[in-house]
Amino acid sequence: MTELVYVLNGSNLNMLGKREPHLYGTTTLAQIQQQVEALATKLELTCEFRQTNSEATMVDWLQEAFERDAAVIINPAGFSFASVPVFDAVKLIERPLIELHITNIHKRDETYRHSLVSRAATGVICGLGANGYLVALQAMAMALGKNPHFG
């Protein structure tokens, strides 16, 4: 049986590969999506991979994930630090929820250090670049009782 996992991406992540490559790298979100979907298939997970610049859309997707009893990997990006509506929607999720950041938010300036989403997350992965998505997916597989093969 495959488990449903939403991989949700917040504001400006559609600009990966172009936006501040010294911080975020040169991998595009489309490339990350291909890698995540390929790994999800190997891990027998069904993946809904999405990106939005709209806070309201992110809230709608989190509510949809709740209604579908899905697990969630979320890179909330800028929604992490000030969006109470996204935080409230994240708290709906009953399955594992992994918060993901490409950079190490704890090394960044004060604006980027305190994520509201972290207060509701099962776990947080940050600072691993684009590879953090693959690590998050493997961690999710384990949280869902699957036995991912590393390597």
Whole-angstrom distance, CA of residue 120 vs CA of residue 135: 19
Of these residues, 6, 22, 101, 149, which one is catalytic? 101
101 catalytically annotated:
yes
Query: Is 6 marked active-site?
Result: no
Q: Which of 6, 22, 24, 133 is catalytic?
A: 24
Ligand-binding annotation for 75, yes or no, is yes
d(CA 122, CA 12): 24
- Residue 103 annotated as part of some ligand binding site: yes
Cα dihedral angle (67, 70, 72, 78), rounded to 10 degrees? -20
Residue 91 tokens, joined: 């708290």
Binding-site residue ranges for substrate: 75, 88, 102-103
Binding-site residue ranges: 75, 88, 102-103
Residues catalogued as catalytic: 24, 101
